Structure 1
Amino acid sequence: MAFNTGLSGLRAASVDLDVTGNNIANASTVGFKGSRVQFGDLYANGFLSSGSSPIGDGVRVQDVQQSFAQGNISFTDNGLDMAINGDGFFVLNNGGEVRYSRAGQFGIDKDGFVTNNQNMRVQGFQADDDGNLSGIRGDLQVDTANLAPQRTTNIESELNLDSREGVLEVSGTRVQTAQPAVGTSTTAQTLTITYSDGSTRNVSVPAGSEASATADLLNQQDDISASARTEYTLAASEVQAGETVTVQGTDFDIPAGEPNPIDWLRDALNNSPLNSVSATIDGAGDLRIVESRGNDLTVSYQSGAGIVTETQVGSVNITLGRDVTLTSDGNLLAGSSSQPFRTNQFDPNDQGTYNHATSTTIYDSLGNPHEITQYFVKEPVTGGASVWAMYVQIDGEDVGDPPLPTGGPSPARYELQFNTDGTLESIDGNPNGEVLISNWTPLDSNGDPNGSSGPLLISSGGVTPIPDPPTSSNFVINLEDTTQFGSDFGVNDQRQNGFATGRLSGLDVSDTGILFARYTNGQSQTLGQVALASFNNTTGLAPVGETTWVETFDSGQPIIGRPDTGTLGAIKASSVEESNVDLSAELVNLIIAQRNYQANAKTIETSDAVTQTIINLR
């Protein structure tokens, strides 16, 4: 019996030596988890009762259990190396077999898949072309192709215009034409512009011309600029719930039972595709509808006498340069008012004709860069309103819509009106703070169209917001947060959403395991997110080599989720988790295992001596 007892001790000590030696051998293995041997004593037992002898029968190895305690995290120079700080395992695809590992030494294979040293593919949550993460799990792959360019569709322009600035020192005259009565229009007439040197120039205005067309004709003349505006007042009594109001051919069906129909109609107009139309409620409670471009404004509504349709012609605001006068042989200037003032005649090539300017780069559909410049000109205060004019040019070219009668873009001029607290009230009467640029044709260095998407005029269906995906060169300038405070002009924020094509320049990993691709154009894109798995019984996992484990019945099924959620740990990029083997403790264990082996061998040697003594009895 002593032989068996000693032999079981030798076997147990041998296993202990093997496990300790394995721990020592893997003390520098990334992601390795040390093991320890668990022993149990042996006793003879009967089926119904304990054995008659209380003497033990030796020892046996009950289990070799791994310790999944956290190992130290060390930094590396590989951006794709990852360490898990906390609970969880990387999920690896080994040719269809799923394995789990804490070793995060990863790289890219020839097909762009993220793999470990044994070409097992790292599993993660996929991202779509726009970088939006989904719940679909698969092999993480890095697309090494160039990043396609994205055209500019939105510019956020947050500025401060210095309210202390004065109107630039150039004399002029402002003429505000009267708005004709509803249903009337201008007659055919000739406008005569007389300059300071005595020369004259005639401008023919056809009968029935819209105010916007008259303004376009005047904008083609030297030392004169013009803008147009149409206002129509709809009485509150004509706006009823359950009825329809039609503006510029668009029906607005007021819901039956609507408690505030005029408020509903105001909001509907301000949020409609009619970009140049806005609405406010005046002091009398009536609805004031404004067409900011000066086009004829047609409104239909239901009245006691049936459907009433009225068309309102706009008025023209004319700015004349120094010693320039304007006369007419028709009714355009009848009832108009004139006011001399000191202002400037805007010239983008003369810095003395504008107060401030700022530029930024935008991109067409082919990824070609272009420079957009916004010029700001302080206007005289009229009617208590504080107004700045904003002019927009791209690559030094006008981009105004509607086009000139010659077909080319008109000067893009917009009036920014500010409240008394310095916040922006409206742009051309529109309270949403947006400007639609809808007449830009991207040009090459020779001044010819470069083949990218061209403009979509408002008259042809250009609207805001810009459709997704965009089909034209149209974009929006958002000036909602622009202010007019008594401090220096400043660009607080200026950003746009376009970019040129880019080549892959690097990869980054966040603490939540999100894989980002960095490109030479300064953009980054989400490629996916590393998936982590946890188990109810981690020690039930079966080691299969290569610092990996597989699921077993004892471990239970994996719970797979995103890093740093639930009980899962966070990801540390450019880092690896070292082995959790304590080398000093293992060397002590080695001495103990050696001592145990020698002691059990001594038991066998002593039993052999006793047996030999019995044999030698005569």
Structure 2
Amino acid sequence: MSFYTALSGLKASQTDLAVISNNIANVGTTGFKRSGTEFGDLVSSSPMQSSGIAGQGTRLRGIAQQFTQGGLESSERSLDLAISGQGFFVTRASNSNGQVSYTRNGAFSVDANRFLTDSAGAYLQVLPTDTKGAVTATGLSSARSIQLPLTSGTSKATQTIDLSVTFPSAGDVPATRSTYSTSNPYKFDRTDPNSYNQSTTTTVYDAAGNAFPMTTYYVRENLPSGTTTDTNWTAHTFIGDTEISYDSSAATQPAPLTLTFDGTGAKTAPSGTINLGPLTPNGASAPLEFSLTYSGSTKMAASPFTLTSFDQDGYAAGQLDNVSVGADGLIVATFSNGDSQALGKIILANFSNPEGLRQLGDSKWGATGLSGEPIIGEASSNGTGQIQSGALEQANVDITEELVALIQAQRNFSANAKTIEAANTMTQTIVNLRT
């Protein structure tokens, strides 16, 4: 009987060594939780049995994982997530069975279809939210896989333009203006640089977010002389290849805008906002209509021609620029046009008995009858921890503790082996007895 008693001890020590080896092997595995062996003694009992009996060895009662908090290591990726406190991320397999699993490994990335996935390709699950980030549905049945948008999906047509220009007081009248007369009042050709002094090019947008170049050519019309102290400049503005008419009553061709400056260089006209349009350049989804204002800082001075400022309120649909995750699990996408969009709130799951979870590998677990049903919630609520972006949870393995346990398991194995050796010696002695 002592052979089998010692053999159970050998097997127990082997199992203990295997568990400790697994802990040590996964000391660098993100989100790994160490395991511990639990043993119980074996006693053959019956109703009439005496209390003074020897046991029959040991047996493995179970291998229990310890879900204590691992250390957090900083990362430079916003999609590296760690849970500070209780809870598990929820993922769903990308294959047809869509298996739901739970993990503490927050090393998420973006796949070819722009879904957030874990290292095994399973989709991170989130709860839907409104535009302000408030959850609109709860429970695991409402969870969905999160997909990052490429664009903001919103655009705005240009409705207001405010600009400021400094005109050079030393600017000459273009040579082509020598042929100017009342019968030929618009002697201007955008393809002839000799017909204008300066030009500026900026961008405006239609309702679909299509961008169009807005080019303005400035022409000096006169030089002050005698009693004439005012100076006039005309502005010929094109959106694409279509010229804007600043005078809707012009019958033959678009009329330019006249800017007037007094002898000190101060702008005297136009004095207010100019409403323009509708104008439909080639490729526009809808006519453009906007108000144009030359601000009070527009002037004529002894300095080079300068477009001092240009502001317009239109924009195209922005490209995805950044993704951030808040401590409450809210995922927000920021776009190049300044838009931001709430994409969803990360689900955290809790269990009444986490030790009852079934190991699936890759730092994942599955729910069982022993663990109980998952309690789904948001971060920082119902006992769940906070989510920390730019960090990963390391294994909760203490290498020093494991090495000490390894030595102890090795000694236990050697002691049980010695027991078998002693039992074998006793048996051999009995066999060798002679009458």
Contact in 2 for aligned 1:31/1:103 (Cα 8 Å): yes
Q: What's the counterpart of residue 101 of structure 2? A: 99
Change (3 A) 1:453 1:126: farther
Matched, 1:609 2:432: no
Aligned positions of 1:556-575 closer than 5 A: 556-575=372-391
C-alpha distance in 1 between matches for 2:134 and 2:249: 46
Structure 1 residue 441, shift from structure 2 partner:
4.1
Distance 1:78 1:54, change over 3 A: same
Q: Per the alignment, do residues 451 and 43 of structure 1 end up closer, same or farther by CA in structure 2, a change over 3 Å counting?
A: closer
Give the structure 2 partner of residue 29 of structure 1.
29
**Paired AA for residue 109 in structure 1:** D
For the pair 1:365 / 2:207, whether they are aligned, the reply is: yes
2:136 pairs with one of 127, 134, 137: 134
Question: Which residue of the other structure, out of 125, 129, 134, is the alignment partner of 2:127?
Answer: 125
Once the two structures are aligned, what percentage of the paired residues are identical? 39
1:480 is aligned to none
Q: Deviations over 1:280-337 (max 9, x none)?
A: xxxxxxxxxxxxxxxxxxxxxxxxxxxxxxxxxxxxxxxxxxxxxxxxxxxxxxxxxx
- RMSD, aligned CA: 3.5
Counterpart Cα distance in 2 of 1:78 and 1:405: 56
Query: Aligned residue for 1:466?
Result: none
In the aligned structure 1, how far is the partner of 2:115 from the partner of 2:76? 20
1:32 Cα deviation from its structure 2 partner: 0.2
User: How far apart, CA to CA, are the structure 1 residues paired with 2:278 and 2:79?
Assistant: 40
2:365 to 546, 549, 558: 549
- Shift, 1:453, TM fit: 5.8
**How far apart, in 1, do the equivalents of 2:51 and 2:366 lie?**
44
Unaligned runs of 5+ in 2: 161-202, 215-236, 238-246, 251-272, 292-310
Aligned equivalents of 1:38 and 1:449: distance in 2?
74
Match of 1:11 in 2: 11
CA change 1:74–1:42 in 2 (3 A) is same
Aligned partners of 2:152 and 2:317 also within 8 Å: yes
Query: Amino acid of the residue matched to residue 551 of structure 1?
Result: A
SS in 1 for 2:342: strand
- Structure 1 residue 59, shift from structure 2 partner: 1.1
**Amino acid across the alignment from 2:424:** D
Q: Partners in 2 of 1:543 and 1:150 — Cα distance?
A: 51
Q: What is residue 345 of structure 2 aligned with on the other side?
A: 529
Aligned twin of 1:81? 80
Contact 1:147 1:503 in 2 (8 A): no
Structure-2 separation of matches of 1:497 and 1:532: 41
Extract unaligned runs of 5+ from structure 1.
155-360, 372-394, 396-403, 408-436, 456-472, 475-494
Q: How many pairs does the alignment contain?
A: 314
**Alpha-carbon distance in 1 for matches of 2:278, 2:114:** 36
Q: Which residue of 2 aligns with 1:479?
A: none
- TM-score by structure 2 length? 0.64
1:498/1:585 Cα in 2 relative to 1: closer, same or farther (>3 Å)? farther
1:502 Cα deviation after fit = 1.1
TM-score (norm 1): 0.46
CA distance in 2: counterparts of 1:612 and 1:555, whole angstroms = 51
Residue in 1 that maps onto 2:333: 517
Offset, 1:151: 5.1
Q: Secondary structure at the match of 1:134?
A: coil
The 8 Å contact of residues 151 and 317 in structure 2, kept in 1 or not, is answered as no
Q: Distance in 1 between matches of 2:50 and 2:212?
A: 92
Task: Write the letter of the residue equivalent to 1:149.
Answer: S
**Aligned partners of 1:53, 1:441: CA distance in 2, in Å?**
106
Pairwise mapping of residues 101-250 of structure 1 onto structure 2 (< 5 A)?
Answer: 101-127=103-129, 133-135=135-137, 136-145=142-151, 147-150=153-156
Question: What's the secondary structure of 1:529's corresponding residue?
Answer: strand
Matches of 2:409 and 2:69, distance apart in 1 = 26
Instruction: Report how far residue 11 of structure 1 moved.
Output: 0.8
Q: Which residue of 2 aligns with 1:54?
A: 53
- Secondary structure of the equivalent of 2:408? helix
Q: Which amino acid aligns with 1:103?
A: N
Shift of 1:369: 9.4
Q: Deviations over 1:388-426 (max 9, x none)?
A: xxxxxxx9xxxxxxxx9979xxxxxxxxxxxxxxxxxxx
Counterpart amino acid of 1:11? K
Question: Aligned partners of 1:10, 1:598: CA distance in 2, in Å?
Answer: 8
1:231 aligned partner:
none
